[in-house]
Structure 1
Amino acid sequence: MARMLTVRPAGPSDTADICGLLNAVDRIEIGRPETDLGAVEADLHHPDVDLRTDSFLVFRSGRLLGYALVWADSGAGRVDCHFRVLPGHRAAAAHLLDLVESRARALAAGAPDAFLWLAPGSGRTLDPGLLPGRGYRTVRRHQVMTRALDPAADLPPSAPAGLTLRACDGGEAERRRAHALVEETFAEHFGHVERAYEPWLDHIDGRALDWSLVWIAALPARGDVGVLLTRDDRTSMGWLSHLGVRDDVRGRGVGGHLLRHGFAAYAARGRAVVGLGVDTGNETGALALYEAHGMGLHYAVDTWELALHSQG
């Protein structure tokens, strides 16, 4: 069967076909399409990706069956991968993994204890024995959580005593302050990679971000204590991508206020749903905070890890 497969790199002209494939997988895994064309375009134009060597499209008889993108911008030894294959095509999935793992070893060459991280959606479209059979193990579970919005009920919240919020649409200095707060408040989170400002902008596609939808929280005598970074470029929902609070002020209602402020802002923009992703092993209590504010599970994704021994 593998002899019937053809593989080539992706290119900008493949964006619509890749988006269609990812949405076909979405329909199976989460019940509806939730991949936007802009997200695929951003991935294919990432400055740390060379499409000639880091992207793979696998076909059978001209039909696109699978897509993978590999990159290594997270420090020595770590390689990340987007990986999706239509169900029922184990040979295509296995062949794509061969290519991904080979490229990952090349990207991580010389690094001790190198590893590949891969998150193949909820996993419903993959043969359940495929990844364990190749030496992968699960290392973390993330949940995408959502909440319905009501413009009549989700009004701007009253702030805890002294707490103020400001939008980051005042220029470069405010964007850099948001970056510093993200780095500080996420420093101990699983998988977080410290990035300087410019690489961070590339990582979050920050040059396409509406910075009026990013807010910094401040307290008297303590200065800036929290940040909420959101984006309104998804078709299916508003998205809260980063909510961070300095550890010395946690438990004072800052995180909850930022969260409710995000709900109100997106309800006022006419959004019916808002979502976010959370590491279920997060030790700051983030999962409980979101549940307490009415957010529920949309779907879960496991991160799989493969040790990248140089000889395979």
Structure 2
Amino acid sequence: MLIVSIRPYAGDSDLEAIADLINICEKVDRLDEGTSISELQQEFNQPSRDLARDICLWEDASGKLIGFALLSISEPGEVIDGSLWFRVHPDARCGDVEAAAVAWGETRMHEVAQEWGARVKLRSGARAQNADRISVLESCGFIVDRYFCRMARSLSEPIAEPQLPEGFALRLFPREEDAEAWVEMFNQSFIDHWNHHDLTVELFKHGLTQPSYRKDLDLIAVAADGTFAAFCYCEISQEECDRTGRNEGWIACLGTRRGFRKIGLGRAMLLAGLQRLKAAGVETAILGVDTANPSGALRLYESAGFHKIRDSISYVKDV
């Protein structure tokens, strides 16, 4: 029987062991989910994350790290979501550590429910082809909630010229003082979407400090009256490209706020983002999309030359 101990995150001294565990799993699973110490630091240091309570580690009798779990908890609201991400060493995948990770996530979300007096849900995900992870989640009581896909487009193919509607101007995100206007635009763009939780100014400003942030890839469409109407934020992670050997960039986030839809802003911003990635030397653009997106995003991406490269499933459990 596998003997394990459970403990909270102890700080930076744990980063190397966690990165090693994730990368060992990546060699076996090939999920494109490798990492580095610096990338883990960026993820862990997000505002509002309680490092002592939202990260958990499992070790065997010799003290070797065999399991890791991270819980990302949404801002307080009528329903609070906890997104559970966990990895278990291939030699320890007997089901016990996986079940312990889910149980830990449930316990933590019960604490959140008591602290905020709100309903809570536990969420996790799996690639459509990852039968082992799907089996674990379903055996722990999770049910399918939504389907997503990742799409790709070669930037060697022609990119149509963006055509902004009359009265709109394409600009770069001006300055940090405009963070509130950007966040309002973001929230108004996604308020109708599945499982939306408002972005906070604090979290947005945190993103501006990340090494991968580039102002030349942060595009907004501004209406004649100065309203931020649509946006396309692109991202290039040099660490990820070096690790995978692929020259890829992300259409990380694309949206059009209420009152400005169905006039071509989304397409124009997408094409502008693709042009920026190509100008930066990227060979392939990547994005993720909700397959049931109500605004027709999947059709937009397909019409712009993107094709599906893999599917994933979002699972949920009421706790």
* Structure 1 ranges of 4+ moved more than 6 A: none
- Residues in 2 aligned to 1:215 and 1:193: alpha-carbon distance in whole angstroms: 22
1:79 aligns with 82
The one of 281, 285, 297 aligned to 1:286:
297
Distance 1:21 1:28, change over 3 A: same
For 1:250, what is the secondary structure of its paired residue?
coil
> What residue ranges of structure 1 are gaps of 5+ in the alignment?
none
- Does the Cα contact within 8 Å between 1:119 and 1:302 map onto a contact in 2? yes
> What residue ranges of structure 2 are gaps of 5+ in the alignment?
242-247
The one of 179, 193, 198 aligned to 1:194:
198
> Is the deviation greater in 11-20 or in 274-283?
11-20
TM-score (norm: length of structure 2): 0.83
> Is the deviation greater in 36-45 or in 288-297?
36-45
- Does the Cα contact within 8 Å between 1:28 and 1:125 map onto a contact in 2? no
- Residues in 2 aligned to 1:31 and 1:161: alpha-carbon distance in whole angstroms: 40
Distance 1:128 1:301, change over 3 A: closer
- Does the Cα contact within 8 Å between 1:215 and 1:228 map onto a contact in 2? yes
1:109 aligns with 114
For 1:194, what is the secondary structure of its paired residue?
coil
Letter in 1 for 2:87: R
**CA-CA distance at 1:123 after TM superposition:** 6.6
For 2:144, what is the secondary structure of its paired residue?
strand
- Residues in 1 aligned to 2:314 and 2:170: alpha-carbon distance in whole angstroms: 34
Number of equivalenced pairs: 302
1:130 aligns with 136
- Residues in 2 aligned to 1:8 and 1:199: alpha-carbon distance in whole angstroms: 27
> Is the deviation greater in 85-94 or in 280-289?
85-94
Are 2:295 and 1:273 equivalent residues in the alignment?
no
- Residues in 2 aligned to 1:264 and 1:39: alpha-carbon distance in whole angstroms: 27
Question: Cα RMSD (Å) of the superposition?
Answer: 2.7
The one of 219, 225, 240 aligned to 1:215:
219
The one of 216, 225, 229 aligned to 1:225:
229
- Residues in 2 aligned to 1:101 and 1:92: alpha-carbon distance in whole angstroms: 14
Distance 1:73 1:248, change over 3 A: closer
- Residues in 1 aligned to 2:34 and 2:307: alpha-carbon distance in whole angstroms: 17
2:17 aligns with 17
1:206 aligns with 208
State percent identity of aligned pairs.
Answer: 24
TM-score (norm: length of structure 1): 0.84
Are 2:104 and 1:99 equivalent residues in the alignment?
yes
- Residues in 2 aligned to 1:226 and 1:292: alpha-carbon distance in whole angstroms: 19
- Does the Cα contact within 8 Å between 1:30 and 1:299 map onto a contact in 2? no
- Residues in 1 aligned to 2:28 and 2:287: alpha-carbon distance in whole angstroms: 20
- Residues in 2 aligned to 1:226 and 1:8: alpha-carbon distance in whole angstroms: 44
For 1:114, what is the secondary structure of its paired residue?
strand
